[in-house]
Amino acid sequence: MQKSKKKKRVLIYDEEGLSLLAKRLKEIRAEKGFTQEDLAYESDIALSQIARIETSRINPTVSTIFRIARTLDIPVSELFNFKFQKKQNI
Amino acid sequence: MQKSKKKKRVLIYDEEGLSLLAKRLKEIRAEKGFTQEDLAYESDIALSQIARIETSRINPTVSTIFRIARTLDIPVSELFNFKFQKKQNI
DNA sequence: ATATATTATAGCACTTGTGCTATATTTAAT
DNA sequence: ATTAAATATAGCACAAGTGCTATAATATAT
């Protein structure tokens, strides 16, 4: 390589998983009759953050998901109750 | 307040959930016969990161967990197959 | 006991998650 | 059609996740 293109570090971002999680959260939240604002308020999570998760625009931490699960009063595994279809692209 | 003590922002950190996840990962990884290094290498995740997760010293993102689940060839929900005992302390 | 393998810690740089606030967009009610 | 409610976006500051590298501590073999 002539100009040693500085390799930009790519962090982990699992698009498929994130959008499946988003979908699952939207579903369950609706079932439970929570608005995003309800969930945000009762979980003490920013409303913008809830929206970001449900539109899979961020890669939340597990603690955020834990807190959501606690508020919705469901096992965490419920939110991850899906199957990957694709091979992961790193 | 005299000196308006600037309130430090406290981010979400679910200790109980994180240590349950750590335990679950350790178990499953052992069952599958992976060392931390195996898992790190095959998942393309830093070894130090795997260790940090298994000692619950960090709060990983869901994509990291997704990638681990993919490598271990298990449903993500397997890693979250536990129940909270405590009320969350915010 | 002593190598060897495995796991745990540490520090740094870089990237990104999160909270906050405000605003725009979409959806639902009337 | 208007209004109101709900959801989506945006930008900033700050905290923290991640990769990398090196080293320490612990467990396992021999």
Q: What is the rounded distance in angstroms from the CA atom of residue B75 to the CA atom of residue A77?
A: 10
**What residues does B61 pair with on adjacent strands?**
A61
pLDDT of residue B6: 56
Hey, are the CB atoms on B62 and A14 less than 8 Å from each other? yes
Q: Which two three-digit tokens encode residue B86? A: 């405590």
Angle (nearest 5°) at CA A76 between A74 and A59? 125
Task: Say what the pLDDT of residue B5 is.
Answer: 54
Contact A62 B90 (CB under 8 A): no
Question: Residues B62-77, buried b or exposed e (16+ Cβ, 10 A)?
Answer: bbbbbbbbbbbeebbb
Nearest to A62 among B65, B82, B88 (CB): B65
Give residue B3's pLDDT band: very low, low, confident or very high (50, 70, 90): very low
pLDDT (tens digit, 9 = 90+) per residue, A43-57?
A: 999 999 999 999 999
Nucleotides in C strand less than 7 A from protein CB: 5-11, 14-22
At B30 the pLDDT is: 97
- What tokens appear for A41 in the block? 């308020």
CA distances from A62 to A31, B6, B37 (A): 22, 28, 22
Mean pLDDT of chain B: 91
Give dist(CA A53, CA B12) in Å, integer.
Answer: 15
Q: Is B63–A18 a contact, with Cβ atoms under 8 angstroms apart? A: yes
Low-confidence ranges of chain A (pLDDT < 50): 1-4
Q: Check residue A3 and give its pLDDT.
A: 41
Check residue B7 and give its pLDDT: 62
What value does the mean pLDDT take over residues B59-76? 98
**pLDDT tens by residue, B32-67:** 999 999 999 999 999 999 999 999 999 999 999 999
Mutate which of B15, B23, B39, B66 to test chain A, going by most A C-beta atoms within 10 A? Answer: B66
Sign of the dihedral defined by the CA atoms of residues A58, A53, A74, B67, in that order? negative
Whole-number pLDDT of residue A55? 98
User: Rounded mean pLDDT of B57-85?
Assistant: 98
In angstroms, the CA A67 to CA A45 distance is: 9
- Return the percentage of chain B with pLDDT > 70, whole number: 87
Residue type at position A83: K
Specify the pLDDT at position B4.
Answer: 47
For chain B, domains (ranges, CATH) are: 16-77 (1.10.260.40)
Q: How far is A11 from chain B (nearest CA, A)?
A: 9
